[in-house]
Amino acid sequence: MEEQKWPEKYPVEGKRGRKYGTVAAMKVGPMVKAAIGSSVEAQQEDKDIAYTFIECNYDEIIRAMDIVPVWTENYAGICGAKRDAQRFLERAESLNLSRSLCTYALCGLGFDEWREELGEMPPDSPWGGQARPGVMLSSGQILCDPRNKWYQAAQQFQPDVPIYNVAGLFPMYERDVDSHEIEGYYAKYITEDLRGLVKFLEEHFHKKMDWDRLWETIKLADATTDLHVECRELRKAVPTPMDTGDAMNCMVPQAFMMGTQEAYDFYRDLRDELRYKVEHKLGVVEEEKYRLVWAGGLPSWFALSDFNYFWSKGATFPVESTYNEQVYSANELDLPKTDDPLEYMAWRWIRRWTYWYDLARKRPGSEPDVERTINYIEQYDIDGIVMHEAFSCRTWHVGLIWQLNQLRKIYRDVPSLILESDIVDISSYNEADTRARIDAFIDTLEAVKSR
């Protein structure tokens, strides 16, 4: 087969063995490093810093108030990716915290305990360390159960740092209940919850919210999401111009930088790159044999090279469910008109989380996660499903098998692979075994395709 001809603007060779990754994804590492560096500088400059979680519906609020976010899950992921999480996990373990708690939380708690004990960053902290916060914005969001307990536990080491807990509720899926009938109650609750957050931040940091600026930040975030949605749509092309290996990097601006010009510019550049690659049929691999969906689970951050292994077999991931929960354009959510930015954020939040509910209710036996996977299979021309059971992540762990079984029952047999490891804890990972499973999965895909 003739080798693809790649333009100079989007070179073949990237960093870290990334052969056909996007140029945009290569910018992510430096962006995250700079963000972490600037949060460490912010601490030195006594700026307003908050511990934050992704997908908690407060991104625009903190950006509009010039509060520097420290994304604690992100920092644990960085430690994992740099294969430098074990020493923090061991610290947490010596505090008698169970190894089977969320390892993001364990890594973060181990780090905090050490930093507070030393009065400075632990030695050789990855990318300068995790800055000490002025407040911690936890979440009782049903997405992820350890989030409110994490910061409560962190208060053991930094008792002077107050917490505001954002409930972040949304209606649970019930087959026989139309969520539209009850979402108004949730919207009222969330609006007031966010109003309480603004008040808390105003009081703690002695500054007032500029409501016009909040609206502008919301508009910028919505425009950024629209670009991200466009990127996801472009990935439907055959061959796909970008896969999940890259998406696990390219989610960073969506998850950690929403409401910033930097995030907008990132997705604009990524969109332009993908448009070019689609137009010129430049794929992730030279010969795309199998198209897969990453249908559940966070990746092992220390083993992202497993995606390269899939690529070496001609397998790509044009789409994934992970980190896509909030990537729906506000324009297609049919949001009620309002002059209150907090009410707008509340409705947008609910409609994004319930995005698949109506479709799921139309298909007997379906439910939102299953419906999403079925839609991805059809829209992205998918041959197989891959999931990752990260042992310490209950959010993603629970229900994966059920989803696969249900999908088979109401839709059709699709070859599937469940990888087993963790997000941060490298001791759970065996590269040889993982790759043996991938080999066997590729054999299965081949057998099914050649039927």
* Contact set with another protein (CB under 8 A): 401, 404-405, 408, 413, 415-416, 418, 420, 430, 432-433, 436-437, 439-441, 443-444, 447-448, 450-451
Sign, CA torsion 437/440/446/447: negative
Q: To the nearest whole angstrom, how small is the minimum distance from the Cβ of residue 289 to another protein?
A: 16
Query: Which amino acid, residue 122?
Result: P
Local structure of 50: helix, strand or coil: strand
| Closest to another protein by CB, 329 or 444 | 444
Local structure of 53: helix, strand or coil: coil
Separation of alpha carbons 95 and 402, rounded Å: 35
Q: To the nearest whole angstrom, how small is the minimum distance from the Cβ of residue 263 to another protein?
A: 38
Q: How many CB atoms lie within 10 A of CB 364?
A: 7
Q: To the nearest whole angstrom, how small is the minimum distance from the Cβ of residue 440 to another protein?
A: 4
Close Cβ partners of 397 (under 8 Å, ≥ 6 residues apart): 297, 389, 390, 391
Q: To the nearest whole angstrom, how small is the minimum distance from the Cβ of residue 437 to another protein?
A: 6
Separation of alpha carbons 65 and 101, rounded Å: 33
- 3-state SS record for 360-419: HHHCCCCCHHHHHHHHHHHHCCCCEEEEEEECCCHHHHCCHHHHHHHHHHHCCCCCEEEE
| Closest to another protein by CB, 76 or 407 | 407
Separation of alpha carbons 34 and 39, rounded Å: 9
What's the start-to-end Cα distance of the chain, in Å? 24
| Closest to another protein by CB, 367 or 422 | 422
| Closest to another protein by CB, 124 or 413 | 413
Q: Which of 164, 184, 155, 420 is nearest to 303 (CA)?
A: 420
| Closest to another protein by CB, 337 or 451 | 451
Q: To the nearest whole angstrom, how small is the minimum distance from the Cβ of residue 430 to another protein?
A: 7
Q: To the nearest whole angstrom, how small is the minimum distance from the Cβ of residue 416 to another protein?
A: 6
The DSSP letter of residue 170 is -
Distances (CA, A) of 229 to 165, 203, 254, 331, 417: 29, 36, 11, 11, 27
| Closest to another protein by CB, 305 or 444 | 444
| Closest to another protein by CB, 395 or 421 | 421
Calculate the CA 110 to chain-centre distance. Answer: 22
| Closest to another protein by CB, 97 or 418 | 418
| Closest to another protein by CB, 212 or 433 | 433
Q: To the nearest whole angstrom, how small is the minimum distance from the Cβ of residue 305 to another protein?
A: 18
Q: Which of 255, 292, 250, 287 is nearest to 271 (CA)?
A: 250
| Closest to another protein by CB, 83 or 449 | 449
Which stretch of DSSP H or E encloses residue 79? helix 72-81
The DSSP letter of residue 292 is E
| Closest to another protein by CB, 44 or 450 | 450
Q: To the nearest whole angstrom, how small is the minimum distance from the Cβ of residue 420 to another protein?
A: 6
Separation of alpha carbons 421 and 178, rounded Å: 37
Query: Which amino acid, residue 359?
Result: L
Query: Which amino acid, residue 6?
Result: W
Q: To the nearest whole angstrom, how small is the minimum distance from the Cβ of residue 401 to another protein?
A: 6
Separation of alpha carbons 254 and 399, rounded Å: 26
Q: To the nearest whole angstrom, how small is the minimum distance from the Cβ of residue 173 to another protein?
A: 23
Q: To the nearest whole angstrom, how small is the minimum distance from the Cβ of residue 392 to another protein?
A: 15
